[in-house]
Amino acid sequence: MNHIPRKRFGQNFLHDPGVIRNIIAAINPQPGQDLIEIGPGQGAITLPLLGVCGHLQAVELDRDLLEPLRQTASTAGKLTLHNRDALRTDFCALRRGEQRLRVIGNLPYNISTPLLFHLLDQADCIEDMHFMLQKEVVERMAAHPGSSAYGRLSVMLQYRCEVIPLFGIGPGAFRPPPKVESAFVRLLPYRTPPTQVIDETLFAQIVRLAFGQRRKTLRNTLKGVLDSEDFTALGVDPQIRAEQLDLKTFARLANHAAEKTANRT
């Protein structure tokens, strides 16, 4: 397939046979499963997935890739292509039946974080997700409290999913080679979150505020939401920074704020 990768789409096409085999083995696709690939590109993962499952849906924004990919995949199985922006796609609406989706993709680095949040909003209809991402992003996704990589993405993802980094991928596996290392990661959405949150919107707001100015203390970042009495009641030091709090403590802060709001009404 003769296609010049486009920078505006963040295109880096996978071509390394060994990496492709490792990816397919990690996904472990099975016949009859409902798979959706984001950004199939030139079909490096698409074709082997089709060979196992027989049917695959794919979301591709670059219309110039559609017909060549459709022709290449014609003998491998049934490929249903959706020419649309993944950030605006209702993935749950693409389900072919009642089973949950398996979502796969080599995600463009320039939209990876907003796309992950977009998919989190649809996690109820997703069985698992397997993505190639910038290594730094995967490290942030899986980071623990106290590390410099730990942040909003870590907390929000770990509230909704089990995050399992699988293996690294060097720049040479792609064309053109990116200037960064990549990694392959598995996300398993929880059916029951690991901690209870009363108001998920308020929880997300508190996490966003807390990490919005990383060098400031909780007293400053959460001013207007929680006061000194609240921190004392919760046994949380208001002089610490957000990166020192684990998921359960963020949930406690949010639940306390939700209860305060409820008591005022």
- Give the residue from 235, 133, 252, 211 showing the smallest Cα distance to 142: 133
**Same fold for the pair 7-189 and 200-264:** no
Cβ atoms of residues 105 and 131 within 8 Å: yes
Q: How far apart are CA 140 and CA 151, in angstroms?
A: 7
The domains of the chain are located at 7-189, 200-264
CATH fold, domain 200-264, is Helicase, Ruva Protein; domain 3 (1.10.8)
- 169 Cα distance to chain centroid: 18
10-residue averages of pLDDT along the chain (265 residues):
46 85 96 94 91 94 90 91 96 93 90 94 96 96 96 97 97 87 97 95 97 94 94 96 97 95 75
| Structure confidence at residue 20 (pLDDT) | 95
Residue 77 falls in which region: left (phi positive, over 0), alpha (psi -120 to 50) or beta: left
pLDDT computed for residue 233 by the predictor:
95
Rounded to 5°, angle at Cα 183 from 130 and 11: 80
Residue 11 is predicted with a pLDDT of: 54
Cα angle vertex 213, ends 248, 215, to 5°?
90
C-alpha neighbours within 13 Å on the C-beta side of residue 94: 24
Residues 6+ apart with CB under 8 A from 179: 171
Please give the CATH superfamily to which domain 7-189 belongs: Vaccinia Virus protein VP39 (3.40.50.150)
Predicted confidence at residue 6, as pLDDT, reads 44
